Amino acid sequence: MNSTTAEETHSLIIGYLLWIFGFLGAHRFYYGKQFSGTIYFFTLGLLFIGWIIDLFLIPSLNRKADRRYKRGVIDYSIAWLLLTFLGVFGVHRMYMGKWLTGILYLLTFGLVGIGYIYDLWTLNEQISERNGE
């Protein structure tokens, strides 16, 4: 399959950067693997074994995410970096143009963390939906 940069939604570099925090599932959430991301979160990357194996699986996860999600104005990598490091402050939501919920997250520390967890599960779909508008 011939792939061009115009078709890419997720970055291999960001995937590997998030893999550093992969024992908490960060890269798995980024690539739309919510169930395994949650399992990694609670088992420290399946006791670090799955985390090490994922070092070799990231290119495949990246290709699948590129096929699954819609490219558009909102950049997945930027949104995921904002969620990962500033998510409880709602910065990723403001970036996506969701100012009201972004400010709400800012004032409530990501709705006391529950909104942050919700966004770990749904951010790719939220972006894909916005990009499809």
For 62-102, write each residue's pLDDT tens digit. 999 999 999 999 999 999 999 999 999 999 999 999 999 99
In which band, very low, low, confident or very high, does the pLDDT at 9 lie, cut at 50, 70 and 90? very high
Single-letter amino acid, residue 92:
H
Q: What Rg value do the Cα atoms of the chain yield, rounded?
A: 14
Tokens of 23: 């024992």
pLDDT tens digits, residue range 108-123?
Answer: 999 999 999 999 999 9
pLDDT tens digits, residue range 15-69?
Answer: 999 999 878 899 999 999 999 999 999 999 999 999 999 999 999 999 999 999 9
Residue 45, SS3?
helix
Q: What is the pTM of this model?
A: 0.89
Quote the pLDDT of residue 125. Answer: 98
Q: What's the N-to-C CA distance of the chain in angstroms? A: 27
Tokens of 86: 């500033």
Tokens of 115: 């909104």
Cβ pair 131, 70 in contact under 8 A: yes
User: Per-residue pLDDT for 4 more than 90?
Assistant: no
In which band, very low, low, confident or very high, does the pLDDT at 6 lie, cut at 50, 70 and 90? very low
User: Per-residue pLDDT for 2 more than 50?
Assistant: no
Parse the chain into domains and list their residue ranges. 1-68, 70-133
